[in-house]
Amino acid sequence: MNQFSHNELEQIISLYIDGELDPVETQRLEEYLSTHPVTAKEVELLRLSKRALSSRPQLAKDDWFWLKLSNRIEGSRPPRTFLSARPAIAFTSLAVMTLAIVGVIFMKDAPMFHRYFLEKKSQVESVYRNNIMTGNILPLFANLNKDDVLNFALFGSIAIDTSNKTSLQVKNSDESGSQIQIVRNDERIAVPVTMNDFADEIGINPFQREIVDSILGSYKEKLQASVLVSENDEVAIHAELVDLNRAMVSTIAACLEPPQRTKFQRFLDTRNAPYAVVAVNTPRVPSHIILNKIPKFSSSNNYVVISPDTVEIAQMTINVDSIREVARRQEMRYRKLMTERMVAELTERQRRMEENFVGMGQNRVRIHSSSGTFQIHFDHAAPAVNPEFEMVDMVKPRMYLPEVPRPITNRVTVIGETGFSFEIPADERTVRELKRLPKGEFRFEIVDSMMREPKMKLMFRSPSGRRKLDAKVRELNAKEQNLIDLDSLLRESDNSPEQVPAKPKKSGKEIELEIML
């Protein structure tokens, strides 16, 4: 019969549950256990504890760890004006101090106590507000280049994550208020425009290009500080962001000569940009005025701060140097990481609250989220970015994009009689209609368009005026533009009286299509 000393049994059981006991000893122990049920129960208990500990939930990987550590290693952590201490600690210590002081004063003089209390209360509130975002705070748009800024100016949209088509968009309107929204799976992300495209198409000279570069550079800083993401899942969005692209496009237009401004207007039109240049004939604003009047970044700013549970309007003090420093060190993967966290956090909010709002001055700021979209809505138009140098009349909102993007699933190539071709985005119904078109010779022209409606009419018409339209299409083909903008065709057509017939012929060959865009 197997017998073990107490110490020997302890050791052997420990090796046994680790699977480290040799076969001979294992057999010996198992025989022992079969006749000693109490020890067998103890062994089962140790197995249970081993299983419990080995399957213990692990801490998730901290994606911010490297960033935090590198800050400490480099010893270049940004000043605490930006990275603040825990608000609860600051709040509590100030409150305790206030109460102590107030107690003493109250004994002496009650009115004085009242005044003192109010002062301290406002100080405490100020501390709280200044500490609303805690931990590492990083600018979402730290690594912007000038093309990114140009695209934001032109389209009010900036790609946050191209891999899942997530973008931040701003819309400003006097009538319906203004909005900042984050849209996922955005099919409408515009084809990016480069500075070279812009310069070539508008025909700006090198000096003007330098001015535009300076304008973009100045606004880039504002854009970088406009969306901040904190480690504790708070997002702060500058209230002026909603007006930033209007200010930029307006300033760019101001530095152009009138003929260039006409081209700029066409440039914006053909790309369905949200603003149109209206002051085409206004003389160019001298460059020194433009450059002197571009608003510098002010260190104290109103932000809409969205935390997992609250929305606040907070005046935050931003250290621009720290943003530059972070921008220098921040890598793309952190931007992607922050984007994922921010978008996940913002869209998650819809589960917790459908809508909430806060007041900012006389305006109301409402937060909505729906499937794939997060929206901050200002009930009134956003405050002008640059009231001192306001060129309100230079540009105006051109058209509004539909609230919910309508996916366009098809592109149809239409081939004309002379071999020209163009592509149009088309829904299923349009595809069916186009397939029914008679084979052989046919002509087409856009004869009507309702600019503010997502609908256009195409009509196949009589031969008059055909030549010029064909020529226009050929010219576009020569530029290797695969996608012809229907708006621009329409305008060309409208501007050429000889091209538009008095009345379209009502013949059997006329086919009218409505294309939903």
Partner 1 sequence: MAKPAVINIISANTPNEQKSDDSLIMLFQSGEKEVFRYLLERYQEKVRNVIFSIFNDPDLVDDIAQEVFIKVYQALPNFRFESSFYTWVYRIAVNKCRDELRKKKVKRFFTFQSFESTTNIKIENLATVTFDDENIRSVIEDSLKKIPEKFRMPIILKDIDGMSYDEIAEVLDCEVGTVKSRLSRGRTMLKELLMPILV
Start-to-end CA span in the chain (Å): 89
Query: Judged by CB, which is closer to partner 1: 11, or 410?
Result: 11
Query: Judged by CB, which is closer to partner 1: 50, or 406?
Result: 50
Query: Judged by CB, which is closer to partner 1: 231, or 312?
Result: 231
Selected range binding partner 1 among 24-32, 63-71, 247-255, 383-391, rule: CB under 8 A: 63-71
Contact of 161 with 340, CB cutoff 8 Å: yes
Determine which residue in the list 24, 59, 110, 191 makes contact with partner 1, applying CB under 8 A.
59
User: Nearest distance from residue 37's CB to partner 1, in Å?
Assistant: 11
Q: Is 55 in the site for partner 1 (CB under 8 A)?
A: yes
User: Nearest distance from residue 329's CB to partner 1, in Å?
Assistant: 11
Determine which residue in the list 28, 36, 46, 481 makes contact with partner 1, applying CB under 8 A.
46
Determine which residue in the list 17, 408, 412, 513 makes contact with partner 1, applying CB under 8 A.
17
The single-letter DSSP state of residue 164 is: G
User: Nearest distance from residue 27's CB to partner 1, in Å?
Assistant: 20
Query: Judged by CB, which is closer to partner 1: 60, or 415?
Result: 60
Report the largest interatomic distance among the alpha carbons of the chain, rounded to a whole angstrom: 116
Contact of 147 with 192, CB cutoff 8 Å: yes
Query: Judged by CB, which is closer to partner 1: 38, or 502?
Result: 38
Total residues contacting partner 1 by CB under 8 A comes to 34
- The residues, ordered by sequence, that sit 6+ positions from 448 with a Cβ below 8 Å of its Cβ are 456, 457, 459
Q: Is 311 in the site for partner 1 (CB under 8 A)?
A: no
Selected range binding partner 1 among 49-57, 111-119, 440-448, 507-515, rule: CB under 8 A: 49-57
One-character DSSP codes across 467-490: HHHHHHHHHHHHTT-SB--HHHHH
Q: Is 10 in the site for partner 1 (CB under 8 A)?
A: yes
User: Nearest distance from residue 94's CB to partner 1, in Å?
Assistant: 22
Q: Is 73 in the site for partner 1 (CB under 8 A)?
A: yes
SS3 labels along 167-209: EEEEEEECCCEEEEEEECCCCCCCCCCCHHHHHHHHCCCHHHH
CA distance 511 to 459: 6
Contact of 229 with 140, CB cutoff 8 Å: yes
Determine which residue in the list 1, 65, 107, 371 makes contact with partner 1, applying CB under 8 A.
65
DSSP β-bridge partners for residue 448: 457
Q: Taking CB under 8 A as the criterion, which residues in 354-383 touch partner 1?
A: none
Determine which residue in the list 27, 34, 48, 352 makes contact with partner 1, applying CB under 8 A.
48
Selected range binding partner 1 among 44-52, 215-223, 289-297, 385-393, rule: CB under 8 A: 44-52
Determine which residue in the list 2, 34, 51, 109 makes contact with partner 1, applying CB under 8 A.
51
User: Nearest distance from residue 72's CB to partner 1, in Å?
Assistant: 6
Query: Judged by CB, which is closer to partner 1: 40, or 412?
Result: 40
Contact of 433 with 426, CB cutoff 8 Å: no
CA distance 222 to 251: 15
**How far from chain centre, in Å, is Cα 84?**
25
CA distance 36 to 6: 14
Determine which residue in the list 27, 34, 70, 317 makes contact with partner 1, applying CB under 8 A.
70
User: Nearest distance from residue 357's CB to partner 1, in Å?
Assistant: 34
CA distance 264 to 277: 7
- From the list 243, 345, 252, the residue with the least C-alpha distance to 302 is 243
Query: Judged by CB, which is closer to partner 1: 77, or 184?
Result: 77
Determine which residue in the list 11, 35, 123, 413 makes contact with partner 1, applying CB under 8 A.
11
Helix (H, G, I), strand (E, B) or coil at 346: helix
- The residues, ordered by sequence, that sit 6+ positions from 275 with a Cβ below 8 Å of its Cβ are 156, 245, 246, 249, 250, 268, 395, 396, 397, 398
Contact of 311 with 365, CB cutoff 8 Å: yes
CA distance 252 to 287: 10
Determine which residue in the list 13, 202, 229, 343 makes contact with partner 1, applying CB under 8 A.
13
Selected range binding partner 1 among 29-37, 67-75, 123-131, 337-345, rule: CB under 8 A: 67-75
Q: Is 5 in the site for partner 1 (CB under 8 A)?
A: no
User: Which ranges of 55-176 would DSSP assign to H, the alpha helix?
Assistant: 65-74, 87-108, 110-130, 146-155
Q: Is 289 in the site for partner 1 (CB under 8 A)?
A: no
Q: Is 47 in the site for partner 1 (CB under 8 A)?
A: yes
Determine which residue in the list 3, 5, 58, 300 makes contact with partner 1, applying CB under 8 A.
58
Determine which residue in the list 37, 56, 371, 419 makes contact with partner 1, applying CB under 8 A.
56
Q: Which residue has the tokens 């793309």?
A: 332
Query: Judged by CB, which is closer to partner 1: 45, or 344?
Result: 45
Q: Which two tokens stand for residue 517?
A: 């865009």
Q: Is 85 in the site for partner 1 (CB under 8 A)?
A: no
Determine which residue in the list 19, 22, 24, 52 makes contact with partner 1, applying CB under 8 A.
52
Query: Judged by CB, which is closer to partner 1: 63, or 148?
Result: 63
DSSP β-bridge partners for residue 335: none
CA distance 506 to 185: 43
Determine which residue in the list 2, 27, 34, 49 makes contact with partner 1, applying CB under 8 A.
49
- From the list 478, 472, 474, the residue with the least C-alpha distance to 500 is 472
Contact of 430 with 489, CB cutoff 8 Å: no
Report the interface residues with partner 1, using CB under 8 A: 10-11, 13-15, 17-18, 20, 41-42, 44-56, 58-59, 61-62, 65-66, 68-70, 72-73
